[in-house]
């Protein structure tokens, strides 16, 4: 039975009250909006549960009415979907709107228990109120984005606690069939170790709820880092595009040997300067993409080169950290091309301060300015992995530059480097008001997806418009996901099609 949104929403209203439902045109339009080239996705309405029990009620009613739901926590997934559902016509469950409490912070064992609506800014402010003895890792995206939603989408940050799922511990989930599951040690009633023991007893299930549609997460444990007395960032500027390969070869040993505890960012010119300027149409006679000559001019004007390398040290005092900075200076100095920029210089330059903030667990909205690089508000992320080898790095760079140029778009990229793999954050910024440009971005994204997959590089996360295509490239995996979907959500109520996961045929 699918008797339509009005009947389902009326049933929710009757049980949870008028304040738990929004079926206004304004709400439907707002929640359907995104920044992607494929267009907005209209919802059928929004529901706002205030407890795990209410989420359970919503899921039970959706099963009874056979009505599809799509859950968000803070709905700030910019360039990937924002609040809008994978399938138009679903009802959005805005889990975080009323479930937004920090339920506990244990300052001795350094963890928090949170509801889905807790934002990075909210956690930062609360830790500040407690004297900043603890530090969280933050994404460099919107400060009003949330810790739970970001973790469930396999988001990451930059400090030693960068791996958001790795630093989560214990989930509470309402499954598609309406059961409530507490994962790992939380499965024992009255457990005192739910947010301490990550893997629990028996199979480890937490990963099932990332980038999937098997459950709605209503609570999560998150580990916090004791805030060190001193944090010192360091920066190196490299002049040429081709230096990228050498940079990757220089960064790799610093991570493999754990010399630098933060991730290292290798940021290209436009990703860095795009946070403080916009596409210079006046210098190109209105043409796109940006000619290399004009790109060079912009590099000079903003005191940058082709690449900006950054990282950070953490410790008891600046005196302890300065020799470590000297060590990386000598290391990058071997290239003969690196220009060093100090922590103090970085603090007073907005482009660099974004890095200082994210290495320090301080939310910042500054990087969002990058989305104004071109007018029209379009934004879409392409996120393949780069093996940490210089030769491969320059091959991938050439591939991305060629495909983007062919589609009259710029190569705007930041590589977030671990020991073996860098996540290659490609930001496609485009005019969403121009239908021709949207079509071109669709073609470009597909060309990137195809070329990288053919070369053996899958993506780690995909915008709504491309989730099904990215899944369709994988072997055996979609069928196994469909079997799990069938077991946990037999009526396919939760976000059918999300990340390309359908139920078993
Ligand atoms: C300039 C810029 C910089 C960025 N930097 C980063 C970065 O450094 N790191 C990074 O990871 N991302 C980054 N992003 C991407 C994105 O904006 C952030 O990841 C943001 O935190 C995600 O939005 P959110 O926290 O509001 O999650 P939500 O939008 O609430 O959730 C994300 C998705 O997870 C699913 N989900 C959410 N809640 C639940 C739930 N309770 N149960 C089941 N499923 C759920 C939903 O399908 C949802 O679409 C950046 C974006 C921009 C524009």
- What atom of ligand 1 comes closest to residue 461's alpha carbon? 11
What is the distance in A from the centroid of ligand 1 to the CA of 152?
Answer: 8
pLDDT band at 137 (very low <50, low <70, confident <90, very high): very high
> Which is nearest to 396 in space by CA: 253, 241, 272?
241
Distances (CA, A) of 40 to 84, 209, 345, 398: 7, 25, 42, 32
Q: Which atom of ligand 1 is nearest the CA belonging to 73?
A: 30
**Residue 432 phi, psi dihedral angles, 5° rounding:** -75, -10
Distance 310 CA to ligand 1 centre (A): 24
For residue 157, is the peptide bond before it cis, meaning its omega torsion is within 30 degrees of 0? no
Cα of first residue to Cα of last residue in the chain, in angstroms, is 18
SS3 content of the chain, % helix, strand, coil (to 5): 40, 20, 40
423 Cβ contact partners less than 8 Å away, ≥ 6 residues apart:
156, 383, 385, 386, 415, 416, 460
pLDDT digits (tens, 9 = 90+) for 143-189: 999 999 999 999 999 999 999 999 999 999 999 999 999 999 999 99
**What local confidence, expressed as pLDDT, does residue 80 receive?**
97
Mean pLDDT of all residues belonging to the chain: 97
CA distance 2 to 107: 48
Mean pLDDT of 120-127: 98
| Global model pTM greater than 0.95 | yes
Question: Which residue, judged by its Cα, is nearest atom 19 of ligand 1?
Answer: 150
Q: Is 90 exceeded by the pLDDT of residue 4?
A: no
> Does 145 contact ligand 1 (Cβ within 6 A)?
yes
Q: For residue 327, how far is its CA from the centre of ligand 1 (angstroms)?
A: 36
Average pLDDT over residues 245-271: 98
In this prediction, residue 504 carries a pLDDT of 78
pLDDT value at position 159? 98
Ligand 1 pocket test, candidate residues 142, 310, 427, most atoms within 8 A of CB: 142
Instruction: Look at residue 1 in the predicted model and tell me its pLDDT.
Output: 55
CA of 323 to the centre of ligand 1 (A): 37
Instruction: Check whether 190 has a pLDDT greater than 70.
Output: yes
CA distance 170 to 173: 10
Residue 505 has a pLDDT of: 73
pLDDT tens, position by position, 308-354: 999 999 999 999 999 999 999 999 999 999 999 999 999 999 999 99
Q: Please give the distance, rounded to the nearest whole angstrom, from the Cα atom of residue 52 to the centre of ligand 1.
A: 21
Ligand 1 in contact with 414 (CB < 6 A)? no
Nearest protein CA to atom 49 of ligand 1, as residue = 72
Look at residue 451 in the predicted model and tell me its pLDDT.
Answer: 98
DSSP class of residue 130 equals: T
pLDDT digits (tens, 9 = 90+) for 412-450: 999 999 999 999 999 999 999 999 999 999 999 999 999
């Amino acid at each position: 039975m699918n008797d339509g949104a009005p009947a389902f929403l009326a049933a929710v209203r009757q049980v949870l009250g008028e304040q738990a439902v929004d079926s206004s045109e304004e709400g439907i339009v707002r929640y359907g909006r995104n920044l992607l080239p494929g267009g907005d996705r209209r919802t059928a309405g929004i529901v706002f549960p205030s407890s795990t029990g209410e989420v359970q009620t919503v899921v039970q009613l959706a099963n009874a009415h056979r009505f599809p739901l799509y859950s968000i926590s803070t709905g700030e997934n910019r360039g990937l979907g924002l609040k809008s559902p994978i399938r138009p016509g679903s009802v959005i469950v805005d889990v975080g709107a009323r479930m937004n409490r920090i339920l506990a912070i244990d300052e001795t064992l350094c963890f928090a228990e949170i509801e889905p609506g807790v934002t990075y800014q909210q956690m930062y402010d609360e830790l500040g109120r407690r004297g900043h003895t603890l530090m969280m890792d933050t994404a460099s995206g919107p400060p009003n984005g949330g810790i739970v939603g970001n973790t469930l989408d396999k988001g990451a940050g930059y400090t030693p606690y960068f791996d958001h799922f790795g630093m989560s511990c214990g989930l509470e989930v309402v499954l598609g069939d309406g059961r409530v599951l507490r994962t790992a040690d939380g499965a024992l009633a009255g457990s005192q170790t739910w947010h301490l023991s990550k893997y629990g007893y028996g199979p480890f299930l937490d990963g099932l709820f990332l980038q999937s549609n098997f459950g709605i997460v209503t609570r999560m444990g998150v580990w916090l880092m004791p805030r060190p007395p001193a944090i010192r960032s360091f920066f190196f500027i490299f002049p040429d595009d081709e230096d990228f390969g050498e940079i990757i070869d220089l960064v790799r040993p610093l991570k493999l040997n754990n010399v630098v505890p933060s991730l290292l960012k290798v940021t290209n010119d436009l990703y860095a300067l795009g946070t403080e300027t916009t596409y210079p149409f006046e210098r190109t006679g209105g043409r796109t993409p940006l000619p290399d000559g004009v790109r060079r001019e912009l590099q000079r004007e903003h005191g940058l080169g082709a690449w900006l390398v950054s990282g950070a040290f953490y410790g008891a005092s600046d005196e302890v950290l300065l020799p470590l900075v000297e060590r990386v200076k000598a290391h990058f100095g071997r290239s003969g091309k690196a220009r060093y920029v100090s922590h103090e210089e970085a603090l007073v330059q907005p482009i660099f301060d974004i890095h200082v903030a994210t290495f320090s667990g301080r939310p910042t909205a500054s990087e969002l300015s990058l989305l104004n690089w071109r007018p029209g508000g379009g934004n879409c992320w392409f996120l393949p992995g780069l093996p940490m080898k210089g030769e491969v790095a320059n091959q991938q760079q050439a591939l991305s530059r060629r495909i983007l140029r062919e589609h009259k778009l710029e190569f705007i990229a930041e590589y977030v480097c671990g020991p073996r793999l860098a996540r290659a954050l490609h930001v496609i910024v485009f005019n969403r008001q121009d239908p021709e440009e949207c079509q071109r971005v669709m073609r470009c994204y597909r060309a990137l997806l195809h070329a990288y997959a053919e070369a053996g590089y899958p993506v780690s996360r995909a915008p709504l418009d491309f989730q099904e295509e990215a899944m369709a490239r994988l072997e055996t995996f979609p069928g196994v996901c469909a079997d799990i979907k069938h077991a946990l959500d037999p009526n396919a109520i939760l976000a059918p099609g999300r990340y390309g996961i359908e139920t078993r045929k």
